[in-house]
Amino acid sequence: MAATAVAVNERGERRHGVPLSIGHRLRREVRRNAAGYLFMLPWLIGFFGLTLGPTLASLYLSFTDYDLLTEPRWTGLANYEYAFFHDQRLGNALEVTFTYVFWSVPLKLTAALALAMVLDRSVRGVAFYRAAFYLPSLLGASVAIAVLWRQIFGGEGLVNQLLVLLFGVSGPAWVTHPDYALSTLIILAIWQFGSPMIIFLAGLRQIPQDLYEAASMDGAGQVRQFVRITLPLLAPVIFFNLVLQTIEAFKAFTQAFIVSGGTGGPVDSTLFYSLYLYEEAFANFRMGYASALAWILLVIIGIFTAIAFFSSRYWVYYDDEAR
C-alpha cells in the first residue's frame, strides 16, 4: 500500500528523467529479490509440493471412502462419526498413547534437566560426557535401537539375565507381555533425553551467576537455590521443551512399530495412535478413514499445545517482559 502511494506521488512530481510506473517498480522489486526467491525455491517446492499439498489432500480424503485402488467416494462426515462413536480400537489406541505421553514426557524432561545440571559444571572432559549423553538421542529413534531394545527386554534378553545373576529371579519377556510392553517403550523414550538436555544446558548458562552468589550469601541452600532461582529462570526453556516433547510423544511410531513387529501387540498394548492410523491406511486399505484419524490427532495435539500455552502465563516468566 505504502509503495503504491509513493509511486503515485512520484509520478505526479516527475518532470524528466526516467519515469517510474508501478509496473516498473514492481519489476525492479522482483529483480532485486529474485536471488532470494531462487535460493528459497527448494524449500518452497518442498513446502507446497510435499507438505501443504498432501495436507490439504488428506483433509479432502478424510471426508471420503478411499481404498487406494479405486477413486475416492465422498461420504461426508461418516469417517468422523465412526471414529467418535463406533471405533473400539481407537479408544484403546488413545488410552495407550495418553499413557505414553503422560509418563514419558515428564520423566524424560526430569532426566534431561538432572543431567544438564550435572554437566553444567566445569569438570575435566565435560565436552566428552556431553557428547556421550547426547548419543542415545541420535541413535534412539532408529530402527537398530528398537531392534536392540527387543533383544534387551526379550525373554532371554540382557535384563532377565541380569535379574537371574543378581537376584536369582527370572523375569517375563518384557516386550511381549501386555503388562510391561508399554513400560519398556517409555523407558526407551526417557533414554533419549539428549536434545532437551542440550536445550536445558543452554538455558542454565543464561542464568546470571551473581544470583546464586547473592542467594548463598543470604544462606540459601542448594535445594532452595534450585527451587527459587533455577526453576523460575528456566521456566521458558522448560515450557519450550514440554511443548516440543509432548508433540513428539503424540507422534511416536517407529519404536512401537519395530518392537511389536508392526502389530501393536501383545493384545494391542502398544497400539499407538500413529501405529493404528498407519495400519488402517496401508494394511486395511482405509486411507479415507486414516486421513480422518490424522486430522483428529492434529486437533488433539493442538488442544494440548493450546492448554500448555494458556497455562504458561501463570508459570513461565520471561526476563524481558513486565509481569
Partner 1 sequence: MKHLLSRRRFNGLLAGGASAAALASFGRFAEAAETVRLIWWGNPDRDQRTKEVVDLYMSNNPDTTVVPENYAWGDYWQKLATQAAGRNLPDLIQMDYRYIFEYARRGQLAVLDEFLGNALELEDFDQNQLDSGKVDGNLYGVSMGANSMTHVYKQALLEELGVELPDPTTWTNENYVQMGNELKGKLPEGMYFSANMGGNEPRFETWVRQRGKALYTADGKLGYGVEDLIDFFAFWQGMQEDGLTPPADLQAQATGPMEQTMMVTGHALFDFIHSNQLVATQKLVPDEINITMIPNQEDGQPGQYLKPSMLLSMAETSPDKEAAARLMNFFITDPGANGILQIERGVTGDASIRELLIAELSPTEKKIVDYLAIVSTSIGDLPPAPPQNAGELDRALLPAWQAVSFGQVDPQAAATEYYENAERVLERS
Please name the amino acid found at residue 260. S
Q: Please, which residue, 157 or 203, has the CB nearer to partner 1?
A: 157
Is 266 a binding residue for partner 1 by CB under 8 A? The answer is yes
Q: Using the rule CB under 8 A, which residue among 38, 70, 167, 310 binds partner 1? A: 70
Q: Which three cell numbers stand for residue 252?
A: 511416536
End-to-end CA distance of the chain: 36
Is 177 a binding residue for partner 1 by CB under 8 A? The answer is yes
- The answer to whether 29 and 45 are in contact (CB under 8 A) is no
Q: Using the rule CB under 8 A, which residue among 285, 297, 298, 300 binds partner 1? A: 285
Residues forming a β-bridge with 73? 65
Closest CA to 270 of 126, 82, 121, 104: 104
Q: Using the rule CB under 8 A, which residue among 287, 290, 293, 294 binds partner 1? A: 287
Q: Helices 181-191 and 126-140 meet at what angle, rounded to 10?
A: 140
Minimum distance, C-beta of residue 261 to partner 1, in the bound complex (Å): 3
Stretch that binds partner 1, among 45-53, 183-191, 264-272, 296-304 (CB under 8 A): 264-272
Minimum distance, C-beta of residue 323 to partner 1, in the bound complex (Å): 52
Q: Which three cell numbers stand for residue 253?
A: 511410531
Q: Please, which residue, 75 or 137, has the CB nearer to partner 1?
A: 75
Q: Using the rule CB under 8 A, which residue among 2, 18, 35, 69 binds partner 1? A: 69
Q: Please, which residue, 74 or 315, has the CB nearer to partner 1?
A: 74
Minimum distance, C-beta of residue 77 to partner 1, in the bound complex (Å): 16
What is the DSSP secondary structure assignment for residue 207, as one 8-state letter? S
- The answer to whether 75 and 65 are in contact (CB under 8 A) is yes
Q: Using the rule CB under 8 A, which residue among 46, 53, 54, 261 binds partner 1? A: 261
**Is the bond leading into 266 cis (omega within 30 degrees of zero)?**
yes
